Amino acid sequence: MDDAVRYALVTGASSGIGWHFAEALARKGYQIIAVSNQPDRLDDLRKKLEKDYSVRVITLTIDLARDSAAEEVFDYCSENNLEVEVLINNAGIFFFGEIAGIDPSKVRSMIALHNMTPVMLCRLFGGKMVGRRRGFILNISSISAVMPYPGISLYGPTKTFLRHFTRALRTEMRDHGVNVTCLLPGAVDTALYDATDYNAPLLRKLRVIKPPAKIADAGLSALFKNKAECVPGVLNKIILVVMPLIPHFIISCINRRMNKQKEM
């Protein structure tokens, strides 16, 4: 393999922040390995990046919630001599609701996507980076990592795990020449908000939700500057400090009131 060829692997690259991670890395001259379970969107991404940036884009259509997903991605790269210099663990899902009413398959998928698969990708590709004494790993957590609240009782804690795992991994990798960073975005301007009862235009005007391109750029900037964490936006920085200070009895009262309103 040509030593000058640099590959960046992005999970969840077919939409949202992942798409913009792939584009930003292509702009920096990286060849892209884009992984997702959306083949049509991956093909759209490949065509755009190859046309706009003259880079090679390899697409892998894999359900990253499968038990063997990380090994499948790693084996493909190994068999094809693709040396991954940058690993972006971005793939994830979001749903709102009480855990007792969530389909068990969705519960397993969230835990796999937010915890098992990124950890195994860090283990497999991180091992190679340690051997080369060079590499970059960016794990995407969320400001909800400090919010063990009703309705996101699974989403928040899975992101909490990923945040703490990333901090520990960073310490382990520091002496091996590998940069490890955790990105904690708040609300991001994706289709999620257009498909809900939220007033997306108002949230955009108030800058409560951030453009995904800016989130991706902020995350990569932090990664290449070897920062431990990146929290884009002043409001999100405030939330990260203030939210853990709210007494849980207040959250319980709000939750009971909301449940009563639903019953009316």
7, 30, 53, 155: which one is catalytic?
A: 155
User: Looking up tokens 């009262």, which residue turns up?
Assistant: 253
Our answer to whether residue 53 is catalytic in this structure is no
Helix (H) or strand (E) holding 218: helix 212-224
**Six-digit token string for 63:** 């359900």
Structural contact between residues 190 and 211, judged by C-beta atoms closer than 8 angstroms: no
Q: What secondary structure, in 3-state letters, does 50-94 show? A: HHHHCCCEEEEECCCCCCCHHHHHHHHHHHCCCCEEEEEECCCCC
**Which amino acid, 165?**
F
For 243-251, which contacts have Cβ atoms below 8 Å and span 24 or more sequence positions?
243/143, 243/146, 243/147, 244/146, 251/149, 251/150
CA–CA dist 191, 16 (Å, integer) = 8
Helix (H) or strand (E) holding 118: helix 117-132
The end-to-end CA distance of the chain, in Å, is: 66
**Which amino acid, 227?**
K
Pairing of strands 7-11, 135-140: unpaired
**Six-digit token string for 234:** 């002043």
> Hey, which residues are catalytic here?
155
